[in-house]
Chains A and B, each alone.
Chain A
Amino acid sequence: MTITPAPGAGEPLSIGNVINTGFRLYGAKFKEYVGIAAGATLGLFFIYLAIALAVVAFAVAGLSPALLGILIPAAVVAFFYAMAQYASEMGLISRLAFGELTEQPEAVEAARRVTRPRKWQFLLNSVLVGLIFVGVFLPFYILLLIMVVAVFGFTITGGGSEPGVGAIIAIGLLILVMVPILIVLVYWLWARLFAAEVPLAIEPGVGASKSIGRIWSLTKGSTWRIALIAFVISCIMLPVSIVTQLIASFLQIGLTVVLPEQTSGVISGLSTVLGSALGLLINIVVLPLWQVMKSVIYLDLRTRREGFGLELRDRRSEF
């Protein structure tokens, strides 16, 4: 009579199984997610292109300065609009992935009706995350800069004298200690904020800053787990980037062989275009994977920290 519970429902996942789940979901929904990423990336690309063309047209045609007063604000608005749109589409992928993971899948258009109106919140969210990083690390960088300048100052002015050498060694050692600490700190902060836009994409009534607060409290105590997950994913993705690098360099060699008579300017121009196209393509394929991983990590964190999925069966349905 007893019903076996759904295997592992509401159970936290191991580091390896978080990664497995992300890869499997990404593979199952590859077309859908990569399609969204392609639309978002190309949209961003074309708006940038349009702005660049407008600038070139302005420079070449020498239009009246009065027009500049309209063109610059228009370009700024277009720039931020594109960024917001792009951020909301990335959030859309995370939202769709979360729906699949919790067995409440949404149609793309239905999910987009939720994420698109929040696009300015998504933009604000990423700006805030950027500001947090700047706020934390700017003092460090300034301190480091002062120390480096001090070392050079000592070497130039007090070269050879006893106290000068001692000070240089002391500061040099301090720099050697500080740089690794800084790197670890960056990684730590990154792990805590890396999924900062996911609550905004999924939860109702969560704004740009509340989303950051949510992720901050959820990742407490799981920072190094997340950091290790991200490191292992990067290791798995490494072959992909190495292989594409190889393809890119083969293409470059191929170009030099095919066009021996041409000037080197054409070759470098062509390989720049090819390189950017390849970079765009890798972006389109790789970004959805990270968006999916963020959702898996987010769900796993909620399972751990909030007991997500721990529910008693609804008895009314049995009668």
Chain B
Amino acid sequence: MSRRFLRQVSQQTPESVELEFVLAGIGNRTLAYLIDYLIFILTLVGFWFLWLIFSIGLTSTLESLGINYGKAPLWLLAIALLLSFIIYSGYFTFFETTWRGQTPGKRWVKIRVVRDDGRPIGLAQATLRAILRPVDDIMFIGMFLILLGKQEKRIGDIVAGTIVIQEEGANRREQLSISPAAQEFASKLPELADISQITADDFAVITAYLKRRSLMTLQARSDLSLKLARQLRLIIGLTTIPAGTTSDHFLEAIYLAYQKQVGDPTRDHLR
């Protein structure tokens, strides 16, 4: 699907280089937020459980020593509350600083906090964002600001001078499964047809099909495979096809032959 409905911003780096970012958007940010809060709440439950055990142990020790511990429970509660708040802001500050603008939730949904000019954030920005997080949570101010603002900044982002962007999909190079029949066919293909007629555009479509075919419905897959194969056969002017070649084999063979002849053009498309 087209990504044109995703909001983009362009920023100038200190070196006056224009950079384009795709903003994280309300969907990714809410999902990351939910994941982070889940982890945070589990951590907090674990902490209070341990603290309770510690408190019971401490008071019984004090009692066995015959010390008056009347004020201890209040102090223990106060310290626990303080530590909870430190865990709360510390969680986000720690991860956003050490993971260059990411938390576990943000890493999972592939978004990142950066400064307005695209540089990675430091301790100062992470701390400001974490301290202002409770303010943004009051009456969901932060969520409304992200929904309605052009740069999707909550108060923490405005003060810290940060934006949340999507990570560029580092095109992971997956190994495509290619059948032996197709490999054999591919070696003959350059003699039989004009591979150079295939554009980088076509190659991208073939690659996408081969990558994703295993998840498609059988009917759609065979229809699409046949359609692409027919079109490509006309494009490269192939007259004879070896007996028993399926359309999938043909597409795999073109993929291999093109890669061998031209190299992988998707590399150059990655800006």
Q: Which residues of A contact B202 (CB under 8 A)?
A: 312-313
Does A101 count as interface, using CB distance less than 8 angstroms? yes
Does A175 count as interface, using CB distance less than 8 angstroms? no
Give the nearest-CB partner of B7 in chain A: A24
CA distance A3 to B111 in the complex (A): 29
User: Are A16 and B2 touching (Cβ within 8 A)?
Assistant: no
Question: A310-B209, A312-B228 are contacts. A221–B215 as well, Cβ < 8 Å?
Answer: yes
CA distance A296 to B2 in the complex (A): 11
Task: Select A307's contact among B29, B209, B235, beta carbons within 8 Å.
Answer: B209
User: Are A239 and B140 touching (Cβ within 8 A)?
Assistant: yes
Task: Select A23's contact among B1, B4, B27, beta carbons within 8 Å.
Answer: B27
Task: Select A15's contact among B1, B31, B147, B212, beta carbons within 8 Å.
Answer: B31
User: Which residues of chain A from 1 to 49 have any CB-CB distance to chain B below 8 Å in the complex?
Assistant: 2-25
| B257-271 near A? 1/0 per residue, CB < 8 Å | 000000001000100
Q: Which residues of A contact B60 (CB under 8 A)?
A: none
User: Are A8 and B201 touching (Cβ within 8 A)?
Assistant: no
User: Are A5 and B201 touching (Cβ within 8 A)?
Assistant: yes
| A263-306 near B? 1/0 per residue, CB < 8 Å | 00000000000000000000000000000000010011001111
Does A236 count as interface, using CB distance less than 8 angstroms? yes
CA distance A18 to B31 in the complex (A): 12
CA distance A137 to B76 in the complex (A): 50
Question: A12-B1, A13-B1, A239-B140 are contacts. A19–B220 as well, Cβ < 8 Å?
Answer: no
Q: Which residues of B contact A21 (CB under 8 A)?
A: 1, 5-6
User: Are A17 and B28 touching (Cβ within 8 A)?
Assistant: yes
Give the nearest-CB partner of A21 in chain B: B5
Q: Which residues of B contact A20 (CB under 8 A)?
A: 5-7, 25-28
Q: Which residues of A contact B31 (CB under 8 A)?
A: 15-16, 19, 228, 232
Give the nearest-CB partner of B209 in chain A: A310
Which of A16, A19, A299: most chain B CB closer than 10 A? A16
User: Are A307 and B27 touching (Cβ within 8 A)?
Assistant: no
User: Which residues of chain B from 18 to 45 have any CB-CB distance to chain A below 8 Å in the complex?
Assistant: 24-32, 34
Does B3 count as interface, using CB distance less than 8 angstroms? yes
Does B109 count as interface, using CB distance less than 8 angstroms? yes
Q: Which residues of B contact A5 (CB under 8 A)?
A: 200-201, 204-205, 269
Q: Which residues of A contact B29 (CB under 8 A)?
A: 16
Q: Which residues of B contact A9 (CB under 8 A)?
A: 1-2
Q: Which residues of B contact A8 (CB under 8 A)?
A: 1-3
User: Are A312 and B205 touching (Cβ within 8 A)?
Assistant: yes
User: Are B1 and A305 touching (Cβ within 8 A)?
Assistant: no
In this complex, how many residues of chain B approach chain A with their Cβ under 8 Å: the count is 48
Does A235 count as interface, using CB distance less than 8 angstroms? yes
Q: How far is the CB of A319 from chain B (nearest CB, A)?
A: 14
User: Are B1 and A312 touching (Cβ within 8 A)?
Assistant: no
CA distance A240 to B30 in the complex (A): 15
Q: How far is the CB of B263 from chain A (nearest CB, A)?
A: 12
Q: Which residues of B contact A25 (CB under 8 A)?
A: 5
Does B100 count as interface, using CB distance less than 8 angstroms? no
CA distance A9 to B224 in the complex (A): 16
User: Which residues of chain A from 180 to 238 have any CB-CB distance to chain B below 8 Å in the complex?
Assistant: 217-218, 221, 228, 232, 235-236
User: Are A239 and B1 touching (Cβ within 8 A)?
Assistant: no
User: Are B201 and A313 touching (Cβ within 8 A)?
Assistant: yes
Q: Which residues of A contact B221 (CB under 8 A)?
A: 307
Does B47 count as interface, using CB distance less than 8 angstroms? no
Task: Select B28's contact among A3, A6, A16, A307, beta carbons within 8 Å.
Answer: A16
User: Are B205 and A311 touching (Cβ within 8 A)?
Assistant: yes
User: Are B1 and A3 touching (Cβ within 8 A)?
Assistant: no
User: Which residues of chain B from 217 to 240 have any CB-CB distance to chain A below 8 Å in the complex?
Assistant: 217, 220-221, 224, 228, 231-232, 235
Question: A17-B27, A20-B26, A315-B235 are contacts. A307–B220 as well, Cβ < 8 Å?
Answer: yes
Does B133 count as interface, using CB distance less than 8 angstroms? no
CA distance A228 to B26 in the complex (A): 14
Q: How far is the CB of A298 from chain B (nearest CB, A)?
A: 10
User: Are A101 and B2 touching (Cβ within 8 A)?
Assistant: yes
User: Are A309 and B1 touching (Cβ within 8 A)?
Assistant: yes
CA distance A17 to B217 in the complex (A): 23
Question: A8-B1, A17-B6 are contacts. A310–B269 as well, Cβ < 8 Å?
Answer: no
Does A103 count as interface, using CB distance less than 8 angstroms? yes
Give the nearest-CB partner of A8 in chain B: B3
Q: Which residues of B contact A311 (CB under 8 A)?
A: 205
Q: How far is the CB of B271 from chain A (nearest CB, A)?
A: 9
A-B contact pairs, 11 of them (CB 8 A): A5-B204, A8-B1, A8-B3, A9-B2, A20-B5, A21-B6, A236-B27, A303-B1, A304-B212, A310-B224, A312-B231
Of all A-B residue pairs in the complex, the 7 with the closest CB atoms, nearest first, are: A19-B27, A16-B28, A20-B25, A306-B220, A239-B140, A16-B27, A8-B3
Given contacts A3-B201, A17-B3, 15 further A-B contacts (CB under 8 A): A8-B2, A10-B1, A12-B212, A13-B3, A17-B25, A19-B27, A20-B7, A24-B6, A101-B2, A228-B31, A305-B220, A312-B235, A313-B199, A313-B201, A313-B202
B: residues with CB less than 8 A from A are 1-7, 24-32, 34, 109-111, 139-140, 143-144, 147, 166, 199-202, 204-205, 208-209, 212-213, 215-217, 220-221, 224, 228, 231-232, 235, 265, 269
A: residues with CB less than 8 A from B are 2-25, 101, 103, 217-218, 221, 228, 232, 235-236, 239, 242-243, 296, 299-300, 303-307, 309-313, 315
